Amino acid sequence: MKGQATIDALLRDFDASKPRALARAISLSESGLGAPLISALYARAGRATTIGLTGPPGVGKSTLSAALVRKARTLGKKVGVISVDPSSPFTHGALLGDRIRLTEHFTDADVFIRSMASRGHLGGLAGATADAALLMDAFGFDVVLIETVGAGQSEVEIAELAQTTIVALQPGSGDSVQVLKAGIMEIADVFVVNKSDHPMANQLRREIRSMIEIAAYGAWVPELVATQALTGDGIDELWAAIERHAVYLNESGEIERRRREAFAHQVRHIAAGRIGDLVERALDADASIDGDPYAAAARVLRSLGIRE
């Protein structure tokens, strides 16, 4: 990065809708250099529909993503896909499996696929994902789909970003109930039972249905849709559920509350990341082990101008 001139050139290419500029902008923000780009482009974002898609490994998230992209394209919508893999050391471009699943969209200029496996970003992986989603939104994508694996903290964080969160589960996996218990229940706006061709699919649907019934939801009660991502069965129903949720968000004003929360969440991450970096640097400079850890921490904070 050679400073302002490089940023200006990149912004010009971004304005000219060159996909390479979007790719480069995402790479820069992944490596912690995205602040000037985000500052320049932030005002343009806020138009895209952001959809989070999460669930255990192998449930069919990437296949569902491909099917949702296909559906969105038939409606003439431009789609950005972010595939988040916290365990992968690879960045730049889709992961191998996703490459295969999403190949049909590779030559479509109105589809942009990107995988994230970032360290080094001030706000961690969730921060890097937030930046990528924002950049895709500012670039002009109508839909930004964020696919993330697992049942830990990362997808709960990523759900903070998305307007609508889809939780996909598969029949006969045994981990579904456990997944529901691990806090996934709260983040789902739409549940998907994928692989509905499986003999245990109806049982899983009943299980989820009864969990929804006993849970204390607010004004929006999660919808439940059965899909076969491979054949496209149920994808129209899933899209309709996503649209109903979007209508609910807008009519209830919940969309604004979610935007504010997502904003605060990002600010918190960025600020905490900065402070963490400063503390690291102060520790490197002051390697003495005098006094107790609390006294040393107070000394580090004082050196940063922070008084408790």
Ligand X SMILES: Nc1nc2c(ncn2[C@@H]2O[C@H](COP(=O)(O)OP(=O)(O)OP(=O)(O)O)[C@@H](O)[C@H]2O)c(=O)[nH]1
Residues contributing to the site for Mg ion (CB under 5 A): 61-62
205 contact choice in ligand X, Mg ion, none (CB below 5 to 8 Å, kind-dependent): none
Is 229 a binding residue for ligand X by CB under 6 A? The answer is yes
Is 57 a binding residue for ligand X by CB under 6 A? The answer is yes
- CA-to-CA distance for 23 and 27, rounded, in angstroms? 6
Is 115 a binding residue for ligand X by CB under 6 A? The answer is no
Least spacing, CB of residue 150 vs ligand X, in Å: 8
**91 token code pair:** 């960045």
Helices (H), 193-253: 201-214, 235-252
What is the 8-class DSSP label of residue 85?
Answer: -
Nearest alpha-carbon partner for 224 in 250, 188, 183: 188
Residue with tokens 């989603």: 133
For residues 84 and 154, is the Cβ–Cβ distance under 8 A? yes
Q: Which is nearer to ligand X, 105 or 195 (CB)?
A: 195
- CA-to-CA distance for 141 and 112, rounded, in angstroms? 9
Is 228 a binding residue for ligand X by CB under 6 A? The answer is yes
Least spacing, CB of residue 132 vs Mg ion, in Å: 16
Which x/- pattern over 127-166 shows residues binding ligand X (rule: CB under 6 A)?
----------------------x-----------------
Beta strands in the chain (DSSP E): 49-55, 79-84, 111-116, 143-149, 164-169, 190-193, 223-226
Is 52 a binding residue for ligand X by CB under 6 A? The answer is no
Is 194 a binding residue for ligand X by CB under 6 A? The answer is yes
Site size for ligand X (CB under 6 A): 16
Least spacing, CB of residue 162 vs ligand X, in Å: 17
- CA-to-CA distance for 167 and 170, rounded, in angstroms? 10
* Half-sphere exposure of residue 117: CA atoms within 13 angstroms, side-chain side: 13
Which listed range, 7-15, 51-59, 208-216, 255-263, lies at the site for ligand X (CB under 6 A)? 51-59
Please give the single-letter amino acid code of residue 29: S
Q: Which is nearer to ligand X, 32 or 234 (CB)?
A: 234
Least spacing, CB of residue 197 vs ligand X, in Å: 5
Contact with ligand X (CB under 6 A): which of 7, 25, 41, 59? 59
